Chains A and B, each alone.
Chain A
Amino acid sequence: MSETPRDHEPSDADWDTLRAAAPQPGPDLLARIAADAARLQPRQRRGWRDRLGAGLGAFADALGGWQGASALTASALLGLWLGMGQSAAVAEMSAQLLGAEAELVPDDPLTAFLVEG
């Protein structure tokens, strides 16, 4: 029987044997890889709700806790309401108390300076 190059061709079984001889990762290697992964892993990113909650919590802490923050917020809202909602009533009261003179006092300090000299 004559010999052909195909006689020296590795068979599928030969490749299978060689493939099976490759080592499997042992626990030491996997532990080293897991340690690398833990060391290099970025810190956990939180959602916007978590970040907002954390930001408000820090703000409240700076004001002495949630009670302090609540009181400050209520005061701020009251001031805003007084400033915007009651401005007409204040002007009317001023006119009644001071008469027409109140109308002569300009709101703008520059105008007041120019008028009064």
Chain B
Amino acid sequence: MALDDPEIRADARALKAYANGDKGVAEELAARHVPRVLALAYHMLGERSEAEDVAQEAMLRLWKIAPEWEDGRARISTWLYRVTANLCTDRLRRRGRQAPMEAAGDPADPARGALAGLLEQDRAAALRTALGGLPESQRLAVTLRHLEERGNREIAEIMISVEAVESLIARGKRGLRKALEDSVESLSYKDDPV
């Protein structure tokens, strides 16, 4: 995604307008970015209330930096992801443990058959648990790549270098496979009925 992307330009304009005192643009920015920030925080922390606190804090930092924001310096989304990742890392370190993810939520598609839905939930629960068991940096890289669907280049801007990101994702996926292999007996990864 280039820095002259229309969404990036719209973001920069909205943030500038916010800094100039225009009313209503904060809601526009929040509508665009809070869902992403909240999702990343949730996948990293596994708890909704904590993820909401992180999302609020990340947006608060955006409001504070708005008057000094320079056009073309960075994408607002990338900046927010980086702030959110740092806030999540701080919280995880304060916890002093790699928090397991919460139990699975609602089925993604209630219209599907009960068995398929149950298997889907089981898979999601196992994947969530396996993801929660990864080291922080691997979890962040895998989450950004596979759940937030960011490219390696943007992940590198959020985290470190592209090479390190590729290595982290590869190690993270190996870790996920190992964790899923350990729980395969109780899941449908092995013999998935069609």
Contacts and interface: CB of A to CB of B under 8 A. Distances in A.
Residue of A16, A17, A19 with most chain B CB atoms under a 10 A cut-off: A17
Interface stretch (A26-34, A72-80, A86-94, A95-103): A26-34
Main secondary structure of the interface of B (DSSP, over half): helix
B114 to A, nearest CB: 15
A10 B38 contact: no
Given A22-B39, A29-B56, A30-B30, A17 B123 contact: yes
A36 B38 contact: no
Contacts of B121: 17
Contact of B34 (A5, A15, A25, A38): A25
B52 interface: yes
A16 B27 contact: no
Interface string B20-45: 11100011001100110011001100
Contacts of B120: 13, 17
Residue of A7, A13, A20, A25 with most chain B CB atoms under a 10 A cut-off: A25
B150 to A, nearest CB: 13
Interface string B65-87: 01100000000000000000000
B35 A24 contact: yes
Interface residues of A, number: 33
B189 A21 contact: no
B19 interface: yes
B103 to A, nearest CB: 10
B20 A33 contact: no
A37 B189 contact: no
Contacts of B39: 19, 22-23
B17 to A, nearest CB: 10
A103 B137 CA distance: 95
Interface of A: 3, 5, 7-10, 13-25, 29-30, 32-34, 36-38, 40-45
Interface of B: 18-22, 26-27, 30-31, 34-35, 38-39, 42-43, 48, 51-52, 55-56, 59-60, 63-64, 66-67, 104-106, 108, 120-121, 123-124, 127-128, 131, 146-147, 173, 176-178, 180-181, 184, 189-190
Given A18-B131, A21-B105, A33-B34, 8 more contacts: A18-B43, A18-B128, A18-B147, A22-B43, A25-B38, A37-B26, A40-B63, A41-B21
The 8 closest A-B pairs by CB, nearest first: A44-B21, A37-B26, A22-B39, A21-B105, A40-B63, A17-B124, A8-B180, A20-B108
